[in-house]
Structure 1
Amino acid sequence: MLIMTNAIRTQTENGVAGFGELASLMGLMTGAEKHGPAATSTLDALWVLYDRVLRVSPETAKDPGRDRFLLSKGHGPMAYYAVLAAKGFFPRTWLPDFGTYDSPLGHHPDRTLVPGAEIGSGSLGHGLPLAVGTALGLRAQGLDDPAVWVLVGDAELDEGSNHEAIAYAGAAGLSRLHTLVIDNSSATHGWHGGIAAQFQAAGWSAVTVDGRDHEALHRAFTAPHPGRPHAVVAQVEPKDTGEPKVA
């Protein structure tokens, strides 16, 4: 990862960073290099969501009408933290202390410590069931407008809890529920017919796109899916170890 120079640091201390600066922000966080691929594989999709899709900001982070984003793939959260910092949810000065004893930015996100984080995550297989529960809770309160998004990894889908959540959400017609699957071909078993086909078989709308193509991601994220939950499978290079491209 790149190390942020003093010049870039000065430029990004004020205002919202662009996508091209995220690698530098990620470079401030060290000590979790073994989870680097888990972070860089998500960066493009996370940026498009927060920059162009999600209706949530630091000012509306507690508003009942906000969109919810749940990071189920909680290991390797550096990309998530970089995007939240770039969007002003917390100061960028927190990033160099990532993973230290007194830092709110742990190796797994903690919703009680990280502004903008909806759940504590890292134990795989929990995020999608929590997203289903969130969508059901909003429906019960009559809050039909907020969208619920959850990001999972392809290997995480091996967890049985996710199969149950997918089956239930499709049957319940949770149309405000969206699952973003980052597919870097790391699953042990794989899914016969492809990941999207499994969601479709359970009654979901689903599409597979290039996880590095920002325009394709945006089209997939905003595709209409009346009466059904929606899944976007974002394919990236297997076990990505490279730096994200600049859009």
Structure 2
Amino acid sequence: MFTDSHCHLSFPDLQAKLPEILTAMQQAQVTRALCISCTMEEFPDVHALALGHDNLWCTVGVHPDTEDMTEPSVQDLLERAALPRVVGIGETGLDYYGMEDRKGGRTIADLEWQRERFRTHIRAAQACRKPLVIHTRASSADTLAILKEEGEDGSARQAGGVFHCFTETMEVAKAALDIGYYISFSGILTFKNAQDLRDVAAYIPIDRMLIETDSPYLAPVPYRGKTNNPSYVPYVAQQVAQLRGISAEEVGRITSANFDRLFAGVVA
């Protein structure tokens, strides 16, 4: 009934508990999850999860904020995207958050490597016709600009994709919708201080919405501060349901259908 469109089951604190997580997912009626790659080094573990479980799929990509790891070429991404149960490219995008503190005082101009990496992922997604999983943090203007420059502008050639763990403004949401992208909400939607985000979730067409955990991070209320896992995604659905005046089960049904539509032809 529920689909977790973004999780990190390959991370050690989840992989070590995988059998109990899979059981908890079944009990919570979470029938599927998409395992996200953050580095090329991690991809074999992510892919193994998808190959080993008929309710898991995966992506290939390098997180925008990852340094000192293998930098993929378009061909590197395409070779892995062609493997069974690899259904998307990412997560990819831009992350300028806390740049001065986390990146040694560098300026946005110094992050051209992020922008070039992003373009590589976009080109790979367009070549293999698999959707992009977009991470954007404190960088939405550049994220949208690069997508459009690379042809992700609503045209027939675009790969399409989803803005995952959305925390941006209503204006950014509208811009993402305008180019045909989906928007995915995480447990942040349940946080007390997230009213602006709830306003966005109440506004956007429900047929363009996904739900996710981004686990092991961002556990929803009532588990905030604890290790997240895909069995908690119904709490995100419950919050959406309250905003939309429908049942959580209906949110699960609709967002699962949206997931099928976004990954059409690659999720069996």
Normalising TM by the smaller chain, what interval?
0.3 to 0.5
Using structure 2 for the length normalisation, give the TM-score: 0.36
Which has the larger strand fraction? 2
TM-score by length of 1: 0.39
